């Protein structure tokens, strides 16, 4: 099998480190692996296939000879370096929001719209974590009954913000239990024992950028601008695993039993739905897994054709690193890398 030279940009971060793990777990055909990060992280060590690797500074010339570049270092880094990587012959899978809504950049969830990869011009966008897990569940239902409207409320883990947020939750929890005063730094308010109805920046509409990401990205990935989507995104004191309460209205009637049957056969989806046994997806059970879990599928009795459901996935894995590697695998499979 052909092997590929792979760069991971942002290799010292939560998503970057997980990308390295997933590449190893999936036995991706890596010839050479190049961990890259900012100048301040240069010289740090990361591990791949049991070997310690020194992190190098992410600069344009670092991409010479690279076939695939997985980016997880933020919008500014992607805007400056992703085009440079493409110029040097690499295909970029970018985890930031730098290119997601560009018309000529595919926004891909492999279980949903892998055909979009055929149109790539060097850069492929990895969608927002909360959007990814939702569309994996919506797509098979949309194919059967056409989803007309989506109302989603998210309960998002602090790992979505990064390693500093994970550390802040740990520190604040200990300080509060010990009766010590806390001083928030990553978030505007304490996150321990609290929920924050605020992810990313607010705009003039009163919505946040995270909420608009879910609206716009869902339409692009599903390939249907007519789907009405509204979102409220909330940060909760959970380390790993985003949860979502999702309400859908469909054009054709779907019973909960029919929805369970469809989803049980859908790629990348695990149905955990037995209220009598208190069986439903939980972040603590889903953390470290690659699938999207769905449960509490029930009829919305307020409208003729509606369902409610509860969707949970590991945001660092399926919401970021695993989805990026899946894209890379599909590129190899389809001869697009």
By annotation, the residues acting in catalysis are 129, 242
User: Do 88 and 139 fall within a single domain?
Assistant: no
User: Do 150 and 115 fall within a single domain?
Assistant: no
Distance CA 29, CA 317 (A): 19
- How many separate domains does the chain show? 2
User: Do 289 and 328 fall within a single domain?
Assistant: no
User: Do 175 and 231 fall within a single domain?
Assistant: yes
Residue 317 confidence (pLDDT):
98
Sign of CA dihedral 97, 98, 104, 110: negative
Q: What is the mean pLDDT of the chain?
A: 97
Q: Estimate to the nearest angstrom the gap between the alpha carbon of 243 and the chain centroid.
A: 12
User: Do 76 and 104 fall within a single domain?
Assistant: yes
Distance CA 4, CA 23 (A): 12
User: Do 308 and 324 fall within a single domain?
Assistant: no
Residues in the chain with pLDDT values less than 70: none
- The CATH number for 143's domain is 3.30.360.10
Distance CA 77, CA 59 (A): 10
User: Do 108 and 135 fall within a single domain?
Assistant: no
State percent of the chain over pLDDT 90.
99
Give me 154's structure tokens. Answer: 């998210």
Give 294-323 pLDDT, tens digit per residue: 999 999 999 999 999 999 999 999 999 999
- The CATH number for 66's domain is 3.40.50.720
Cα torsion through 288, 116, 270, 259, rounded to 10: 150
Residue 259 confidence (pLDDT):
98
Give 82-96 pLDDT, tens digit per residue: 999 999 999 999 999
Alpha carbons within 13 A on the beta-carbon side of 192: 20
User: Do 204 and 191 fall within a single domain?
Assistant: yes
Domain range spanning residue 51? Answer: 4-127+320-333
Residue 53 confidence (pLDDT):
96
User: Do 214 and 298 fall within a single domain?
Assistant: yes
Give 18-70 pLDDT, tens digit per residue: 999 999 999 999 999 999 999 999 999 999 999 999 999 999 999 999 999 99
User: Do 103 and 237 fall within a single domain?
Assistant: no
**CA-wise closest residue to 259 among 110, 152, 145:** 145
Prediction pTM value: 0.96
């Amino acid at each position: 099998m052909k092997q590929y030279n792979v760069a991971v940009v942002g290799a010292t971060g939560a998503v970057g480190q997980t990308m390295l793990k997933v590449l190893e777990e999936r036995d991706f055909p890596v010839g050479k692996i190049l961990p890259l990060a900012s100048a301040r992280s240069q010289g740090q060590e990361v591990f791949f296939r049991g070997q310690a690797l020194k992190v190098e500074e992410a600069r344009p010339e670092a991409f010479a000879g690279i076939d695939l570049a997985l980016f997880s270092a933020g919008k500014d880094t992607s805007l400056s370096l992703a085009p440079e990587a493409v110029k040097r012959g690499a295909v970029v899978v970018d985890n930031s929001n730098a290119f997601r809504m560009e018309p000529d950049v595919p926004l891909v969830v492999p279980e949903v719209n892998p055909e979009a990869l055929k149109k790539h011009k060097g850069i492929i966008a990895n969608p927002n974590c909360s959007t990814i897990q939702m569309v994996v569940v919506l797509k098979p239902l949309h194919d059967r009954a056409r989803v007309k409207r989506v109302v989603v409320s998210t309960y998002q883990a602090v790992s979505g913000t990064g390693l500093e947020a994970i550390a802040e939750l740990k520190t604040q929890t200990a300080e509060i239990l010990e009766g010590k005063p806390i001083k928030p730094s990553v978030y505007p308010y304490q996150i321990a024992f609290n929920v924050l109805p605020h992810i990313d920046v607010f705009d003039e509409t009163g919505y946040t950028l995270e909420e608009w990401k879910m609206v716009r990205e869902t339409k692009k990935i599903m390939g249907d601008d007519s789907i009405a989507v509204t979102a409220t995104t909330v940060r909760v004191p959970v380390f790993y695993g985003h949860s979502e309460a999702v309400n859908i209205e469909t054009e054709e009637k779907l019973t909960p039993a029919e929805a369970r049957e469809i989803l049980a056969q859908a790629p990348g989806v695990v149905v955990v739905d037995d209220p009598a046994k208190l069986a439903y997806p939980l972040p603590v059970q889903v953390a470290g897994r690659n699938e999207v879990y769905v449960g509490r599928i029930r009829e919305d009795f307020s409208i003729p054709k509606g369902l409610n459901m509860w969707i949970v996935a590991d945001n660092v894995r399926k919401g970021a690193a695993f989805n990026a590697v899946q894209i890379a695998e599909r590129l190899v499979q389809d001869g697009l890398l």
